[in-house]
């Protein structure tokens, strides 16, 4: 059993938890994730390791389905059935001097450990972070310690600029020069960032978050097409160069899983 050492509600939809897991923490690198089960009958929930120390890992979860809502009901002192990891291939931290990082919604969680790793090697970083409204912007204070500039966007204009992150990104690309970009967030956001950056010959790393079940590539649910070849996000990623990813195929597949999740929630008495 894995004890919850701390819990913070970042907003009504998103929780941060610190979990006692010394063996996982000892081997964690930026880009790794864990698979969690709340109880012995629970579904497997893949979550990025946001931070780690000698004894614990920090995760951030969005309460959007039955299992993540069950996770959200756990409190400090409670325990989780399973915390398996670290899983996935660690992100390749490249020796670049300048970086533009783009986060959308809870994509700020998997983005943070990579940005921190670039900061630790001396990279100068600009961050563009977007969300539906100011309440759904997360980790702003932590990012402030490691980036040169933060540009905030919200869909409703409640904080920062009103509009999409790509609007700010395009302006920065016309004003500054970067060696690399990282984009993590909704698939449509990552697709648009990659396509925009192609016009400026700027390479973009992304983190794919399709449905994962076993975390070993056995189920095939997390398959993605990149350059005409099939990869599995849980064992080959989740981080990939974005230029040749078939985002349209991946978005179509996620529609199927969202439908199945909705049916599951209805069967379990959840109201969407």
Residue-averaged pLDDT of the chain: 89
Same domain, 260 and 192: no
Backbone angles phi, psi at 79, to 5 degrees: -125, 155
Q: Total domain count for the chain? A: 3
Asked if residue 265 has pLDDT above 60, the reply is no
Same domain, 153 and 261: no
- Cα angle for residues 108, 114, 116 (degrees, 5° grid): 95
pLDDT of residue 42: 82
Same domain, 118 and 65: no
Asked if residue 261 has pLDDT above 90, the reply is no
Instruction: Select from 190, 207, 224 the last residue of a domain.
Output: 207
Asked if residue 264 has pLDDT above 50, the reply is no
pLDDT of residue 16: 96
Instruction: Select from 158, 191, 207 the last residue of a domain.
Output: 207
pLDDT of residue 216: 72
Confidence of residue 241 (pLDDT cuts 50, 70, 90): very high
Q: How many Cβ atoms are within 10 Å of 217's Cβ, its own excluded?
A: 16
Same domain, 98 and 158: yes
Asked if residue 213 has pLDDT above 80, the reply is no
pLDDT of residue 258: 54
Same domain, 148 and 111: yes
Could you tell me the residue range of the domain that residue 43 belongs to? 2-87
Asked if residue 135 has pLDDT above 80, the reply is yes
pLDDT of residue 8: 95
Contact 132, 154 (CB under 8 A): yes
pLDDT of residue 126: 98
pLDDT of residue 262: 45
Q: Percent of the chain, pLDDT > 70?
A: 92
Asked if residue 43 has pLDDT above 90, the reply is no
Same domain, 43 and 106: no
pLDDT of residue 197: 97
Q: Report the distance separating Cα 200 and Cα 147, nearest Å.
A: 22
Same domain, 145 and 170: yes
Same domain, 46 and 65: yes
CATH number of the domain encompassing residue 17: 2.40.30.10
Instruction: Select from 64, 87, 110 the last residue of a domain.
Output: 87
Same domain, 77 and 135: no
pTM value > 0.95:
no
Confidence of residue 254 (pLDDT cuts 50, 70, 90): confident
CATH number of the domain encompassing residue 98: 3.40.50.80
Rounded to an integer, the average pLDDT of 1-10 is 94
More confident: 271 or 239: 239
Asked if residue 9 has pLDDT above 90, the reply is yes
Same domain, 198 and 116: yes
pLDDT of residue 257: 58
Same domain, 201 and 228: no
Same domain, 188 and 106: yes
């Amino acid at each position: 059993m894995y004890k919850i050492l701390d819990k913070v509600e970042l907003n009504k939809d998103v929780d941060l938890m610190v979990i006692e897991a010394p063996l996982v923490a000892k081997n964690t690198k930026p880009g790794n994730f864990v698979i969690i089960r709340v109880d012995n009958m629970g579904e497997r929930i893949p979550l990025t390791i946001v931070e780690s120390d000698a004894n614990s890992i920090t995760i951030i979860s969005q309460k959007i389905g039955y299992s993540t809502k069950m996770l959200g009901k756990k409190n400090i002192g409670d325990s989780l059935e399973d915390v398996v990891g670290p899983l996935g291939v660690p992100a390749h931290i490249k020796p670049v001097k300048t970086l533009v990082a783009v986060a959308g919604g809870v994509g700020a969680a998997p983005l943070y450990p990579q940005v921190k790793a670039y900061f630790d090697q001396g990279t100068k970083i600009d961050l563009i972070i977007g969300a539906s409204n100011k309440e759904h912007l997360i980790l702003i204070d932590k990012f402030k310690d490691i980036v040169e500039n933060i540009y905030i966007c919200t869909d409703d204009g409640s904080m920062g600029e009103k509009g999409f992150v790509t609007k700010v990104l395009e302006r920065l690309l016309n004003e500054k020069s970067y060696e690399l970009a990282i984009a993590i967030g909704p698939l449509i956001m990552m697709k648009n960032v990659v396509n925009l950056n192609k016009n400026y010959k700027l390479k973009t790393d992304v983190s794919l978050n399709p449905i994962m079940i076993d975390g070993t590539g056995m189920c095939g649910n997390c398959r993605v097409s990149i350059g005409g070849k099939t990869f599995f996000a849980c064992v080959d990623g989740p981080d990939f160069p974005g230029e040749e990813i078939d985002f349209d195929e991946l978005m179509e597949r996620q529609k199927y899983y969202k439908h199945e999740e909705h049916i599951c929630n209805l069967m379990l008495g959840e109201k969407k």
